[in-house]
Structure 1
């Protein structure tokens, strides 16, 4: 992208005359000292008044506070020196007039910055960068006025150098800095807005929302990066070669991390695992409480949060106990003596299971004889619950407690293990 041509003094006669008159005043040391002292005093007074205004506005009115922080100091300084120059004398000169024009330009630039901060609500770091950029833009505008009169400033504007085969210029870097902050703020706002829009959708599953938001986020920041490099006059072809070599190095070192991200997108789009599912992954068993593109968080029965990289979910067998529905079958077993009344024992066991409010009646609890040996007869009760996230051992404990009480009451003896 070619640099935007600057309004040089030679092309603006009125500006040329104003700067020339101001330089004539600078040649008089006495007038220059007085004007600088007055300007410094005006800025100091404006800063003090701005502090008082910030305290008066307070943080309860953030939008007004933003305007005060951006505009109060330049506007008050402009008002003070404008009022003093009306009294005539040494202050009624072209230098003060030029300073007033530059302050007016600064106020306009700061106003645009304030409007952008209120509209896009950037992060604290980007907010600081935006306020710094408004100053940089103003300084660049001031320096451009004197580019034709200063060889040093003209040299700084035209300076060029290379870094790793990439040609850079001071003018391009300045444009890149300014455009970079603005584009980053807009990109961050767009990223948040797209994420919020997807989350408010009633037609998308949570896994799709997370996956699409990440894909859109990557796309937004890729476009933002291209715009920033274009504004900085960086050759994308040379950058592609450099980025390719860097990408190979990073790919070899971060291949496991990249595998986790790609696996995360696969899991999210396939919905093989969802938040709220009860799964068993390797030696980890529990309920999925959170999913990101890189990892899945599982809360185990012990109340411990296990962080499982997503590549393990795609490269290993996963038992999803909530795939078709949230119902989970549990088993409670006892070993009774061989001469026990099995019919009564099974009835008492079924009654104990039915007495628990968390045990489902459909499918209904069942009793099975699962083993016979010289020690006794193994009875297993199978029952279903629909809220495994509320605990599994606790409901089994309540059933065992009820079974033991019923067996003691009816004289059914257990076999010592």
Structure 2
């Protein structure tokens, strides 16, 4: 391997050529009519810096005053605010070019046109880089493409290409230069941005298709993400000359080593695919696993996100859902039957009690009317006649404990209004003395 050496002839030649061209460029700006234009561009930049804060406050104040703005609109406002300096500089440069074009010669306003063109192209690069989801890659593409745009317009492209290509390291027959790395990042970033747009469109279409189940929608979306993003990275690296054949052997060796240490991870990944394929659970289902009861928020590659009624979010490994016993309250449909047990005194008419219990349950909002509640006697206890009240709901995501409590409260009100008593156990305890009188007490 040949390390980077700043004293190599190749790097020295490229550096001297870059500095020579920069010296010629700076000398060309010292011509009087060009120097005045440079001073005007600097004045525009200072003016933009002074106005930027006021314009930014007005823009953010306007955005905050508007209600109901969508996410993409808010993101657009934030992006505009971040690029406000460049946008104002570009606009003032073009205004100076067009305004001075009526009073002077074209050669006296040429630099204003160059500044406006550079600003406009940098804006396009910045907005395009925002399409890349990865923040680091977005910045690399933005800076790399921006510097390249400025270099091409000012005529430094050949010197910069030569300089970056001279900064290289060699591994046998493979040569890796700074130019190749920057090219790979820019091309890969552009392909990733395109893959992201295609993925978004395809995912939206899949999610809006009622013929595709929610679990298959998740599986299809993840498959599209894997294929498009993997293909974008592979094509991007291949397009700039990276030899990827050696990665096959390396990835095979790494795969064997990781296979033993990441058995649980692989098991969860495979379990996640099985869950998506067999449609046993899907986003929105209400499940209970052990003491955890809630609805499925999302299906991940390694875990399932379950949100409970108290706002806690449990990340349950996919393997636990495959190997454990899971109660899916809404697997085939949303209807759930709940049972309540209660007892009344033997002196109360059981026919009237059953009728009152059914009417009380029907008066609760979430209890279904088309699946009428039923009430049956299930036994004769020591202190009461025991009943079971069965009713149906269609929204288990709304909670089970609260609907049980509401029905119990309705039973209490109905029994109290009609004189039905709910007994409690009574025991008679007799204490026998030594031949003395018998003492008795009633314990409640």
The two structures have a TM-score, normalised by structure 1, of 0.70
Tell whether 2:226 aligns with 1:223: no
Shift of residue 223 of structure 1?
A: 0.9
- Greater Cα offset, 174-183 or 368-377: 368-377
Tell whether the 8 Å contact from 2:329 to 2:396 is kept in structure 1 after alignment.
no
2 CA distance for matches of 1:302 and 1:145? 63
Deviations 1:25-56 (A, max 9, x none): 959x9x67946994864653353355478676
- Please list every run of 5 or more consecutive structure 2 residues that lacks an aligned counterpart in the other structure: 1-16, 63-75, 427-444
Instruction: Work out the CA distance in 2 between the residues paired with 1:120 and 1:199.
Output: 27
Q: Which residue of 2 aligns with 1:3?
A: none
* Residues 65-80 of structure 1: pairs in structure 2 closer than 5 A: 69=86, 72=89, 76=93
Aligned residue among 115, 131, 143 for 1:122? 131
Give yes or no for the alignment of 1:342 onto 2:350. Answer: yes
Indicate which of 409, 414, 417 corresponds to 2:423.
414
Cα contact 1:120–1:186 (8 A) shared by 2? no
- Which residue matches 2:182? 174
Partner of 1:391: 399
The correspondence for 1:131, drawn from 115, 132, 142, is 142
Structure 1 contact 120–189 (Cα < 8 Å) conserved:
no
Distance in 1 between the 2:159 and 2:395 partners? 75
Contact kept in structure 2, 1:277 and 1:322, CA below 8 Å: yes
SS in structure 1 at match of 2:314:
strand
CA offsets, 1:77-132, max 9 Å, x none? 9969x99xx99xxx99xxxx9xx7xx95x976765554455567425835543431
1:188 aligns with 2:199: no
Alpha-carbon separation, structure 2, partners of 1:187 and 1:221: 6
**Ranges in structure 1 where 5+ consecutive residues have no aligned partner:** 1-18, 148-152
**Residue 304 of structure 2 corresponds to which residue in structure 1?**
296
- Give yes or no for contact 1:360–1:383 (8 Å, CA) kept in 2: yes
> Structure 1 residue 276: deviation in Å?
3.0
Distance 1:144 1:398, change over 3 A: closer
Determine if contact 1:284/1:300 at 8 Å carries over to the other structure: yes
Distance 1:109 1:181 in 2: 21
Aligned pair in 2 of structure 1 residues 398, 139: CA closer, same or farther (>3 Å)?
Answer: closer
What residue is the counterpart of 2:318 in the other structure? 310
Cα 1:344–1:170 shift into 2, 3 Å? closer
DSSP-derived class of the 1:364 partner: coil
Listed one character per residue, the Cα deviations across residues 185-218 of structure 1 (whole Å, up to 9, x for unaligned) are 3233333333333334444333333322221111
The 3-state SS of whatever aligns with 1:185 is helix
Secondary structure of 1:317's partner? coil
- Secondary structure at the counterpart of residue 191 of structure 1: helix
Correspondence list, 1:87-236, <5 A: 114-115=123-124, 117-118=126-127, 121-122=130-131, 125=135, 128-138=139-149, 145-146=158-159, 157-158=165-166, 160-162=168-170, 167-236=175-244
Q: Deviations over 1:286-332 (max 9, x none)?
A: 33344444433333345543332333222222211212221111111
Q: Please give the alpha-carbon distance, in whole angstroms, between the structure 1 residues aligned to 2:234 and 2:281.
A: 35
Superposed counterparts of 1:260-409, under 5 Å: 260-337=268-345, 341-408=349-416, 409=418
SS in 2 for 1:325: coil
Find the aligned partners of 1:269 and 1:164 in 2 and give their Cα distance. 47
Q: Which moved more, 1:173-182 or 1:370-379?
A: 370-379
How far residue 273 of structure 1 moved from its aligned partner, in angstroms, is: 1.5
SS at match of 2:377: strand
2: CA distance, partners of 1:348 / 1:322? 30
Aligned residue pairs total: 377
Task: Please say which of residues 276-285 and 32-41 is displaced more in the overlay.
Answer: 32-41
| Per-residue Cα deviation, 1:148-199 (whole angstroms, up to 9, x for no partner) | xxxxx85762554246996523442232133233223323333333333333
Q: Are the counterparts in 2 of residues 133 and 181 from structure 1 also a CA contact under 8 Å?
A: no
Q: Distance in 2 between matches of 1:300 and 1:64?
A: 39
SS of the aligned residue for 1:168 comes to strand
Q: 1:242 to 1:406 in 2, by over 3 A?
A: same
SS of structure 1 residue aligned to 2:272: helix
What is the SS of the residue equivalent to 2:333?
coil
The alignment partner of 2:283 has SS state of coil
Q: Is the Cα contact below 8 Å between 1:71 and 1:111 reproduced in 2? A: no
Give the SS at the match of 2:368: coil
Q: Report the CA distance shift for 1:238/1:40 in structure 2 as closer, same or farther (over 3 A).
A: farther
Q: In 2 relative to 1, CA 370–286 (structure 1 residues): closer, same or farther, beyond 3 Å?
A: farther
Q: Secondary structure at the match of 1:324?
A: coil
3-state SS of the aligned residue for 1:382? strand
